[in-house]
Amino acid sequence: MESNSRDASAILREIEALKATRNEIDSKISALEAQLREIKLQNGNDNGVLNNGSCPPISGLDSGFGHGLTPQMIYRYSRHLLLPSFGVQGQSNLLKSSILVVGAGGLGSPALLYLAACGVGRLGIVDHDVVELNNMHRQIIHTEEYIGQPKVKSAAAACLSINSTIKIVEHKEALLASNALEILSQYDIVVDATDNAPSRYMISDCCVVLGKPLVSGAAVGLEGQLTVYNYNGGPCYRCLFPTPPPSTACQRCSDSGVLGVVPGVIGCLQALEAIKIASAIGEPLSRRMLLFDALSGRMRIVKIRGRSLQCEVCGENTTFSKQQFQEFDYEKFTQTPLSPAPLKLNLLQADSRISGKEFKERIDNEEAHVLVDVRPEHHFKIVSLPRSLNIPLPSLEARLAEISSALEKKEDETNSGSGAQLYVVCRRGNDSQRAVQYLHKMGFTSAKDIIGGIEGCARDVDPNLPMY
Ligand SMILES: Nc1ncnc2c1ncn2[C@@H]1O[C@H](COP(=O)(O)OP(=O)(O)OP(=O)(O)O)[C@@H](O)[C@H]1O
Ligand SMILES: [Zn+2]
């Protein structure tokens, strides 16, 4: 394994270096492509491309039919035009509208594809992230060839390949209080397709300050929800949630998992709400929230409270200004980082910890030991280290006897007078430290945790160990 893993590490390093170069080249190509599109648009493009920003508005197009739709547009959107409640007016409204989607992930993928397909005049995409292999099961806008490349670039290419006649704007950056006013002010409607509390508060506050409707969705595990904020006198996000939930209550897909199609369903519904607002049809989901439970297949719509007069941002006596917005610290307010680096606890003394490499050396030298894996059982089933004993952290207290007898058995087997060593592992090396702290208290004083957990071992010791 040693020489293999050394070879593999060198190859991995080389791949990373090449990817960095590729990203740089891709960024340059993106910038040039954007410039080219801009020039084409300014020269009056031959594709019937629309632009609600710097290009002539739809009314400037002389179609000769009195409604501004060209023959190609009529053919492309004919199934919309045939809908009596949508028709030419609905389509024209849509073509004149501009919509910003924040986040090109699980929710943003279907939302963007439908918004592009249906003919939103100008579609903005904000995301700072790159496409990863573990995004592919749900972030259906991205294809394998874009792994390692910016999500905005991949999403823009997919949208343009469906509809080359609309304007796509790539914002390859994180949306922050410092740039949100400038970016959001360029659009009529905002779709929140992010996955974290600071972004949700920030986007909602910015929409209030700028007077923009906000289509908000969320999906994790097997459940999703959807509503429209700040629309026609309806509530904003803060009216409903004046104080952020404890950061531990906010689940993320990378920890809790998500069935790919669940954000797919909610993202499609987000596109639908944005289309209803943009085309001025139907009743957007304001003052109501849609709740989706995938397992039962149930969708419920519940009434939610209206605008709160006491709301700090949109309430009667609010003093929340653009400047206050820009100075507001959303990460501090929600006690959650925007792009969380995985939590890295440091609860133990150095002599109670051991690196993955040292652990491997010790087991290669046949040290008598017991390895306890404190991850949940369904994690253990994905991947586990050889001969480890799965005792999930919450059941540690009830299963101490199992550890004692495993240690005794090991000592008997090996006749090691000095006793068997106790190691604890988890996914990333946080729960293992919590477990070791507890084990020390319960008399297992020599217990050690494996630094960085299974993920650390996959990175530093054995690249053949799968990551998840
Ligand atoms: N403030 C922000 N500005 C721009 N993009 C954001 C912001 N907050 C979140 N995002 C983007 O929103 C998307 C959310 O996608 P999703 O919820 O599917 O999760 P993910 O981060 O891609 O994947 P996973 O959680 O599985 O690691 C991500 O692409 C993320 O980069
Ligand atoms: Zn409010």
Catalytic, out of 55, 159, 250, 253? 253
* 136 is known to lie in a ligand binding site: yes
Q: What are phi and psi of 241, to 5 degrees?
A: -125, 75
Give residue 412's pLDDT band: very low, low, confident or very high (50, 70, 90): confident
How far is residue 232 from each of residues 85, 349, 448, measured CA to CA in Å?
21, 57, 58
Nearest protein CA to atom 22 of ligand 1, as residue: 105
367 three-class SS: coil
Would you state the pLDDT for residue 29? Answer: 67
Nearest protein CA to atom 31 of ligand 1, as residue: 129
Top mutation candidate among 101, 102, 129, 262 for ligand 1, by most atoms within 8 Å of CB:
129
Q: State the distance from the centre of ligand 2 to the C-alpha of 315, rounded, in angstroms.
A: 6
| Neighbour order of strands in the sheet with 448-450 | 353-354, 448-450, 421-425, 369-373, 388-390
Would you state the pLDDT for residue 38? Answer: 58
Say yes or no to pLDDT of 403 above 80.
yes
Q: DSSP character for 90?
A: H
Q: Please report which ligand is nearest the Cα atom of 173.
A: 1
Query: Residue 84: how many CB atoms within 10 A of its CB?
Result: 7
Task: For residues 393 and 351, give the distance between their C-alpha atoms in angstroms, rounded to a whole number.
Answer: 22
- Residues framing ligand 1 (Cβ under 6 A): 102-106, 126-129, 135, 139, 151, 174-175, 194-196, 199, 252-254, 338
Instruction: Give the mean pLDDT of the chain.
Output: 91
Atom of ligand 1 nearest to the CA of 258: 26
Atom of ligand 1 nearest to the CA of 134: 26
**Residues 251/254/255/259 CA torsion (nearest 10 deg):** 80
Task: Say which amino acid occupies 301.
Answer: I
Q: Which residue has the higher pLDDT, 11 or 99?
A: 99
Burial of 283 (0-12, 13-18, 19+ CB in 10 A): exposed
- Complex ipTM above 0.85? yes
* 138 is known to lie in a ligand binding site: yes
Say yes or no to pLDDT of 58 above 60.
no
Q: Please report which ligand is nearest the Cα atom of 100.
A: 1
Atom of ligand 1 nearest to the CA of 151: 29
* 46 is known to lie in a ligand binding site: no
Nearest protein CA to atom 5 of ligand 1, as residue: 127
Query: Residue 280: how many CB atoms within 10 A of its CB?
Result: 12
Would you state the pLDDT for residue 31? Answer: 64
Domains of the chain as residue ranges with CATH? 47-334 (3.40.50.720), 350-460 (3.40.250.10)
Question: Residues 124, 142, 202, 313: is their CA dihedral positive or negative?
Answer: positive
Percentage of residues in the chain with pLDDT exceeding 90? 79
Would you state the pLDDT for residue 55? Answer: 40
- Min mean pLDDT across 52-66, 117-131, 260-274 is at 52-66
**426 included as an active-site residue:** yes
Q: How many residues does this entry show for the chain?
A: 468
pTM of the model: 0.82
Q: What is the pLDDT of residues 113-129, one digit of tens each?
A: 999 999 999 999 999 99
Task: Work out the average pLDDT over 401-420.
Answer: 86
Burial of 326 (0-12, 13-18, 19+ CB in 10 A): middle
Say yes or no to pLDDT of 327 above 60.
yes
**253 included as an active-site residue:** yes
Task: Work out the average pLDDT over 235-249.
Answer: 91
- Min mean pLDDT across 5-14, 21-30, 198-207 is at 21-30
- Min mean pLDDT across 13-17, 148-152, 319-323, 407-411 is at 13-17
Task: Say which amino acid occupies 286.
Answer: S
